[in-house]
Structure 1
Amino acid sequence: MDIKVDDLSSAEIANFLEEHIRDMKAVSPPESNHALDLDGLKKSEITFWTVWDDSILIGCGAIKELSANHAEIKSMRTGVSHRGKGIASMLLQHILNEAKLRSYRRVSLETGSMPFFEPARNLYTKYGFKNCAPFDPYKEDPNSVFMTKEL
């Protein structure tokens, strides 16, 4: 498996992210859906990675710089047929290593509070993330769980 910085220009990643957005809309009310679409991920403060098994796109994730010492994990997703194989763990480790290289002192994230998001919450907890208060630009929301990790 290879993890690559992605410029978000291929039809494959566009389709992969459309599926992600559809899933998020299906389980989160509109006011609690914070998933970024393709254009939202093409910001200079975001680095986006894709995970490939030969020529098959199997996962993605991003990091968004919030400040010189704080970043946010965005758009973590593993393709449905590849879940439970350690891909998300591998990608999360990659993102955390990159955050350390960039000298961030903290990495945070927002995920859902619904049962659909339990595997994600468990993954983040396994890697030392702890629940926290909402961080900018988020507000308190019963459909969101906010987590952070000091590096």
Structure 2
Amino acid sequence: MDGPAETRRDYQVRRGDPAEPAIAALLAAHVADQRAGTPAGFSFALDAARLAAPDIALVAAWDGDALAAVGALKRLDDGTGEVKSMRAAPAYRGRGAGRAILAAIVAAARDGGLTRLYLETGTTPAYDDALALYRRAGFAPCAAFADYRPSPHNQFLTLAL
């Protein structure tokens, strides 16, 4: 593949504040996009207010002063975790920002003693790039977890840590 998708950057990945304007704007766009492309009741994207919960750690990847991507780790009650609200800014899609966020989430989960990570995502072609990223990181299909229920609009993946 040629062009911008091949461009790789060294992102500065650090804990993020969902109330920070750049992060809040990317999260709002993420939630709006998820809800627009998924039938009501099947979109589980968390907004900035919900990502501020104490059981969730938000991380952000920065390219200098530009926000490249966000994602979060939600601790579940059984010693596992869930990847939440993964989103790369449009200018950074295909440029390694999502990979940097996912690597930070996996590392934080391992460092926190979690035994497994889960994630829920959509089933339409709009999710193909995200699925490819998750599969390259070692995530595999699994049954619904936590409070999720199987549906034609959702799929579930897991990674043993």
Counterpart CA distance in 1 for 2:104 and 2:48 is 21
Runs of 4+ in 1 over 3 A off after TM superposition: none
Counterpart residue number, 1:124? 134
The Cα shift of 1:67 comes to 2.4
1:54 and 2:64 correspond: yes
Q: CA RMSD in A?
A: 1.0
SS of the equivalent of 2:117 reads: strand
Unaligned runs of 5+ in 1: none
Unaligned runs of 5+ in 2: 1-10
The Cα shift of 1:9 comes to 2.1
Counterpart residue number, 2:118? 108
The Cα shift of 1:68 comes to 5.0
> What do the CA deviations read for 1:31-62 (whole angstroms, capped 9, x no partner)?
11100111111110000011111111110000
Counterpart residue number, 2:90? 80
- Contact between 2:81 and 2:117, CA under 8 Å: does it hold in 1? yes
Counterpart CA distance in 1 for 2:160 and 2:22 is 34
Q: Of 138, 146, 149, which residue of structure 1 is paired with 2:156?
A: 146
Length-normalised TM-score, structure 1: 0.96
Counterpart residue number, 2:19? 9
The Cα shift of 1:104 comes to 0.6
Q: State, as a whole percentage, how many aligned pairs show the same letter.
A: 33
Length-normalised TM-score, structure 2: 0.90
